[in-house]
């Protein structure tokens, strides 16, 4: 390298959590430490930015991406991977500021499960009379792609694999591989009623460095200790998250997609109990950052 050449930036494989809650945003004093924004996870692989879902957490991420781009005198370029199109996974997209900035480049990936396209769903989400601004007001360049079930695709040096999850209307799990490390994102998912392990996810997560998993309920809540059963609702438990982590031999488990009624104190208790089953376990909170290349 020439003597005065700028130093190469360090390589990175970072996972950042901007929204960790399921179903509906829950701001307030009881959720202040873990956060109340709905699902949004950023994965940075080298200079590539991948965004998993567009819950309310994507608003804060969008603001941060604009700051980073301004510091580089550049534009925002990102790939958004949707696990599915339920409201809590798309409701933040109309507030994603980079989408309104000319020069921004966004690639969207989603499995095609229904008669309308991802573009149609997002456009309908922003239509009158429920929203005052429509997608035509977004100045970004947008490209839409279809995820194949049990498929794979490459984003430069990043390899992405998918698997189907057990959720009403379907959902997609993603495995992101980069620089010899792997991160698996598995939300929204319900474990099989017969007590077996969901094989498509076990295979996808096999040997992963990090697996985050839909652990909305405790076993008791799932079976109805609040007075109503949540069987068939499309979500799992932290106990099943531990089982999956053990079956797939993942290194680190991240408990994710928290029940709107779970307070910080309840999540603290879940963290202690889950670690007894899988020692390297963390309960996701807004601001959590995992550096896979440092492990």
Any domain includes 152: yes
The model carries a pTM of 0.95
Give the model confidence (pLDDT) of 35-44 as tens digits: 999 999 999 9
Any domain includes 6: no
Give the model confidence (pLDDT) of 104-145 as tens digits: 999 999 987 667 789 999 999 999 999 999 999 999 999 999
Instruction: Quote the DSSP letter at residue 118.
Output: H
Any domain includes 88: yes
Q: What is the pLDDT of residue 242?
A: 98
Average pLDDT over residues 52-59: 98
* CB contact at 8 A, 260 and 180: no
Give the model confidence (pLDDT) of 13-26 as tens digits: 999 999 999 999 99
Q: What is the pLDDT of residue 9?
A: 56
Any domain includes 216: yes
Residue 191 structure tokens: 């474990």
Any domain includes 233: yes
> What is the CATH number for 128?
3.60.15.10
Task: Give CA–CA dist 274/163, Å, rounded.
Answer: 25
Burial 241-265 (b: 16+ CB within 10 A, else e): bbbbbeebebbbbbbbbbbeebbbe
Count how many domains the chain has: 1
Average pLDDT over residues 53-81: 98
Task: Give the chain's mean pLDDT.
Answer: 94
Instruction: Quote the DSSP letter at residue 196.
Output: -
Any domain includes 2: no
* CB contact at 8 A, 61 and 17: no
Q: How confident is the model at residue 4 (pLDDT cuts 50, 70, 90)?
A: low
Any domain includes 190: yes
Any domain includes 1: no
The domain of 149 spans 13-294
Q: How confident is the model at residue 5 (pLDDT cuts 50, 70, 90)?
A: very low
């Amino acid at each position: 390298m020439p003597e005065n050449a700028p130093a190469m930036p360090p390589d990175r494989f970072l996972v950042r959590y901007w929204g960790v809650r399921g179903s509906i945003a829950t701001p307030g004093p009881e959720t202040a430490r873990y956060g109340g924004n709905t699902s949004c996870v950023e994965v940075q692989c080298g200079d590539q930015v991948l965004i998993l879902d567009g819950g309310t957490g994507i608003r804060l991420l969008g603001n941060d991406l604009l700051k980073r781009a301004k510091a580089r005198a550049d534009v925002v370029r990102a790939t958004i991977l949707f696990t599915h199109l339920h409201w809590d996974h798309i409701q933040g997209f109309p507030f994603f500021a980079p989408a309104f900035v000319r020069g921004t480049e966004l690639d969207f990936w989603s499995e095609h499960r229904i008669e309308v396209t991802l573009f149609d769903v997002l456009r309908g989400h922003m239509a009158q009379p429920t929203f005052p601004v429509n997608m035509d007001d977004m100045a970004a360049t947008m490209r839409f792609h279809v995820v194949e079930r049990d498929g794979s695709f490459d984003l430069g040096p990043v390899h992405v694999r998918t698997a189907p999850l057990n959720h009403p209307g379907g959902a997609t799990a993603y495995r992101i591989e980069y620089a010899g490390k792997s991160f698996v994102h598995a939300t929204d998912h319900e474990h099989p009623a017969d007590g077996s392990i969901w094989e498509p996810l076990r295979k996808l997560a096999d040997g992963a460095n990090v697996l985050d998993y839909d652990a909305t309920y405790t076993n008791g809540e799932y079976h109805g200790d609040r007075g109503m059963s949540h069987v068939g609702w499309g979500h799992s438990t932290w106990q099943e998250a531990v089982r999956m982590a053990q079956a797939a031999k993942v290194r680190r488990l991240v408990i994710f997609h928290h029940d709107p009624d779970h307070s910080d104190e309840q999540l603290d208790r879940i963290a202690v109990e889950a670690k007894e089953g899988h020692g390297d376990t963390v309960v996701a909170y807004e601001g959590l950052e995992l550096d896979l290349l440092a492990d």
